[in-house]
Amino acid sequence: MQTIEPNLAGVLDVAFGSLHERLNAHRPGLVAQETGVIQSVSMGTATVAGLPGVGFEELLEFPGGVPGFVFNLDPEGLGVVLLGDSEHLKAGMEVRRTGRVMDVPVGDGLLGRVIDAKASPLDESGPLCFQERLPIERPAPPIMHRAPVTVPLQTGIKVIDALIPIGRGQRELIVGDRQTGKTAVALDTMLNQRGNGVVCVYCAIGQRGDSVARVISVLREHGVLDQSVVIVAGGETPPGLKYVAPYAATSIAEHFMAAGREVLIVYDDLSQHARAYRELSLLLHRPPGREAFPGDIFYIHARLLERSTHLRPEFGGGSLTALPIVETEAQNISAYIPTNLISITDGQLYLSPALFQTGNLPAVDVGKSVSRVGGKAQLPAFRAVAGDLKLAYSQFEELELFSRFGTRLDDATRQTLAHGRAIRECLRQAESDPYSVPEQITVLLALAAGLFDALESNRMKPAERALREAVGLMPTAIRERMLQGQPFSAEDKQVVQSLAEAALRPFRKDRHDRDPRQPAT
């Protein structure tokens, strides 16, 4: 005690001396703070008087800690979009400026978390850990900062990777009616990114709670949630949160892109986003246009999707691939919002209700779907085995219509129809069952070689499973050359085809050698 007390006393003297100096140096001053008054409150919006120095999209603080941002700057008052519960707000209450725009936390601490549009946790994992905050509205990267799309984003879905490929940094629209599997396609794409370093961001806009819970459950079950961020603005949330949700999700994704990482973002869906913006605009008395949407409805989606790109190495080298989803009514892809988004994006995947009802899942209509960029990023092995697949399938669909009239068909037409049926059956794929690149190449090569043409439809899936199991016997060097994007040589093709023939030999032999008097098993 005798040696500690003098040291402790010296430390206390220094601490109190420093505190005394700071107190003497402190000079209190007055800080001017602008305050306004609520004039009126409606569903998700408010009109505020005062605040002469406020700026557009500046964040305001309402009583009870409810945030809101300035949406209209009118001479008679400010139109404010509320981002919280407004039932307790009344006319005459005081409003304060914050001097900042709306921002969200970003960083690796958000991975594996479920948050709302204000970045408040919705799971039970405690508070968020983050390094910095970014504004939700940011300018898109300049054209000189962008690099060409050259690397494929494998979805694990055969019909997409083979016929409508998507590249990293591309914006591919998913369009279709209700209950046609739009979310399932996006979710399968996220599942296929497991373990390859791609960060996934899923933004639910106006979706039902059970639908969002199912997505989170599937991501957790397949081990993808740890590399994903889920932003939820459910159907019961105020329209302001639905409006800002995709912009907040994009800022979170841009942080990873700027750090040189590959990012996939899913907007589910932008039809709800457009309706929320229309609701806000009408409540704040903005002039309506076509279908009551405001005149800048195209701009709000253009400035959102233009932020998705592939950066040049000197600017980070990361990429942000966007899969926006839009819902159509009665298969009307020429409606206002779908045509706007089709003109903004780099292609679309159209999901047909007719294909969905007949069980052809995923219900991707190859004729109406297109990828304007991904073909340049497609792996050479895919181009080698699936180059003529789209043409053969289109010819089959045309011939199938005429064959229904019962006309006599020659041998060449029968062979085309048999090959087309094999293509259609082979392109079917179960949900949450993505195929790896070697598995897809092996199946597509067997399909192109006609190895499936003689099989009955009920034996196609067992034959596919046998092919997938046989991929484990593929030489490692060939598998690596596929994944690295090297040319698919004739020798490699022969090795893979021999592997496929050996795997399918029991199925083909069983068909040809079976006693025709015995029923099929």
Q: Catalytic positions, please?
A: 372
Could you tell me which residues are beta bridge partners of residue 233? 205
DSSP state of 306: T
3 state DSSP class of 404: coil
Paired residues of 72 in beta bridges? 79
**Among 197, 193, 347, 328, residue whose Cα is nearest residue 257:** 197
The region that residue 450 occupies, defined by phi over 0 for left and psi between -120 and 50 for alpha, beta otherwise, is left
Q: Which residues of 333-355 are buried (b: 16+ CB within 10 A; e: fewer)?
A: bebebbebbbebbbbbbbbbbeb
Contact 237, 85 (CB under 8 A): no
Quick one: CA torsion of 187, 192, 198, 201, rounded to 10 degrees? 10
Write the CA distances from 349 to 182, 200, 223, 361, 425, integer angstroms.
Answer: 9, 19, 26, 13, 19
Instruction: Kindly state the DSSP code that residue 110 receives in the 8-state scheme.
Output: G
| Sign of the torsion formed by the C-alpha atoms of 392, 398, 404 and 410 | negative
User: Is residue 205 a contact partner of residue 246, using CB atoms and an 8 Å limit?
Assistant: yes
Residue 198 per-residue DSSP state: -
Do the beta carbons of residue 416 and residue 383 sit within 8 Å? no
411-427 vs 460-470: helix crossing angle, rounded to 10 = 60
* Burial class of residue 434 in the structure, from the number of CB atoms within 10 Å of its CB (0-12 exposed, 13-18 middle, 19+ buried): buried
d(CA 126, CA 112): 12
**DSSP per-residue codes, 498-516:** HHHHHHHHHHHHHHHHS-T
Is 322 in contact with 301 (CB distance < 8 Å)?
Answer: no
- Buried b / exposed e over 208-244, threshold 16 CB at 10 Å, is eeeebeebbebbeebebbebbbbbbbbeebbbbbbbb
As given in the structure block, the two tokens for residue 221 are: 């079950």
Number of H helices, E strands in the chain: 16, 16
- Tokens read off for 479: 């598998």
DSSP of 46-109:
EEEEE-TT--TTEEEEEGGGEEEEEEEEETTEEEEEE-S--TT--TT-EEEEEEEE-EEEESGG
